[in-house]
Structure 1
């Protein structure tokens, strides 16, 4: 059974769009499907709209409200139906580890969805689709990404990594979170936090150090939110280089002079953009096999998801 992930139905190839077509995403349907158990939802079909159907859009009224209305006939207002559908559907999605939404959709778009004024002009910056906005408000820790943005290798890697990480978090907690489970999880992700957010690395470290003073339920929810927010930051070359050099330090007594130089050169080549991060990581994993270290072997940074996804090839 794959990792449960929500998806806009059109993105997985279902012909539910206003024109009777779909927005099939090859990466989602042909690569992620091997690891994710996609659960398709079309909010527009969910409120009873037919396929095909007249187009709808988001409009900001003079009162400042955002309404979901017909493009050609703004008197046809679907806002209340969509809000009711969202309020009923979203509580059933707590098992999800991520969600892929359809870009630009007035119901599913994550950002920059066109928002019209009553005179037909658009408001700069746009807005979020009605359903997706409600989803992100209800589950702010959930990884959400748009289908189009998955074409960017860095955004793609970050989204998939967050999905695998949230799944790992829930698996580690099991049916009953404990302080020991939370501390163990945090320990495995120290290098990840160092790479994604040095600030969060320090603040979450202090938080975990004081876990005995927290109410367990309060800690669980606060930690989950702050941790997932931290890894939403893309790990840049500078931070990744710091982590790689940190890893290098664990082998100072195990490697000879030539081996140390080889690893240091690979790390520098990555730092200046001549090599993908996969190059120094592959060598570090090789040295780790030759010189086992219990702490390093638990670090998710080294192997965050299946290699077959090839997400680090362009990083």
Structure 2
């Protein structure tokens, strides 16, 4: 289970989300979720790319214009082109912030937005679908495995839980790399994330399991980044009530010799209530943990799925 005593993972974040008055109008976009709830469990590294490339406060707004596949960032009045500076700064920060385990970007920003950022056309209207902010685009291209999310999407409890699951998995993997990616270490890590992967992405659970079957034929240092890239891509898919229920049923199998028929019936009933949307995930999971405390199993005790992030974040109370 997750150990709250482990060092806090570092997260990059758009500085305005922590209350820094760095927006074009001298304002901020303080996020209570980030500045209060998450700040207890992660260490934030705030960045404002527009300030970093020399734009002051207040300043004219920047707009993305042109081809949505390769937009330019222009000053809305001056038409000064900031594209190269923003893109280069994104590439540079991706290298400098090598110790972070995730990044929270400001939504809709022409520098930081991850998706659906307006890209204006010659007729004055934005293109359908939009694009990605230029700083975020360069940063994410250089760090494709890094968990990233926009602040607005974190208001969705499923997306929030998924993002933080990935952040803490990423942090745990960095600890593994620091001590050396041996075959045993990789195998143990995968065993720990087996049921989390099964919940998020059942097809990739099988595919990555097959990949691990070839580990003995490869140099662990070469194999490790390929494995982890596939794992992080798989974990980007959000678990559903159906896939969570499937994992809960698998975990119940480890208790079949220990529980009485009424206890099995109660647990099965709660899992079905969760599957049907009547209760949140925390309800059957709490009872399951209770039974495992009374009937310990070493393999299950190591499973990240039981507590992939700090318990007092209460992320599974709302999914």
| TM-score class, shorter | over 0.9
Q: 1:151 is matched with which residue: 151, 155, 173?
A: 155
Q: Is residue 2:217 matched to residue 1:181?
A: no
1:138-196 CA distances to partner (integer Å, 9 max, x unpaired)?
Answer: 11111111111111111111111111111111123324211111110000111011110
What is aligned with 1:68?
73
Shift of 1:79: 1.1
Whether the 8 Å CA contact 2:88–2:138 is kept in 1: the answer is no
Q: Distance in 2 between matches of 1:260 and 1:25?
A: 43
Q: 1:51 is matched with which residue: 52, 57, 61?
A: 57
Shift of 1:72: 2.2
Q: 1:42 is matched with which residue: 41, 48, 53?
A: 48
Q: Is residue 2:92 matched to residue 1:88?
A: yes
Whether the 8 Å CA contact 1:173–1:181 is kept in 2: the answer is no
Whether the 8 Å CA contact 2:19–2:31 is kept in 1: the answer is yes
Whether the 8 Å CA contact 2:182–2:221 is kept in 1: the answer is no
What is aligned with 2:125?
121
Whether the 8 Å CA contact 1:173–1:182 is kept in 2: the answer is no
Shift of 1:129: 0.3
Q: What is the Cα-based RMSD across aligned positions, in Å?
A: 1.3
Q: Distance in 2 between matches of 1:84 and 1:249?
A: 52
Q: Distance in 2 between matches of 1:214 and 1:137?
A: 27
Report matched runs for 1:99-138 at 5 Å. Answer: 99-138=103-142
Q: Distance in 1 between matches of 2:67 and 2:123?
A: 10
1:29-61 CA distances to partner (integer Å, 9 max, x unpaired)?
Answer: 001101111000000001000011000111116
Q: Distance in 2 between matches of 1:302 and 1:23?
A: 34
Give 5+ residue unaligned stretches, structure 1. Answer: none
Shift of 1:84: 2.5
Alignment size in residue pairs: 313
Matched position secondary structure for 1:193: helix
Q: Distance in 2 between matches of 1:209 and 1:34?
A: 39
Q: Distance in 2 between matches of 1:157 and 1:270?
A: 17
Give the TM-score, by structure 2 length.
0.95
Worse-superposed segment, 224-233 or 165-174: 165-174
Shift of 1:83: 2.2
Shift of 1:65: 4.2
Q: Distance in 2 between matches of 1:114 and 1:215?
A: 45
Give 5+ residue unaligned stretches, structure 2. Answer: 1-6
Give the TM-score, by structure 1 length.
0.96
Q: Distance in 1 between matches of 2:107 and 2:260?
A: 52
The structure showing larger relative contact order (alpha-carbon pairs under 8 Å, at least 6 residues apart) is 2
Whether the 8 Å CA contact 2:41–2:310 is kept in 1: the answer is no
Q: 1:14 is matched with which residue: 15, 20, 25?
A: 20
Runs of 4+ in 1 over 4 A off after TM superposition: none
Q: 1:258 is matched with which residue: 247, 262, 265?
A: 262
Matched position secondary structure for 1:97: strand
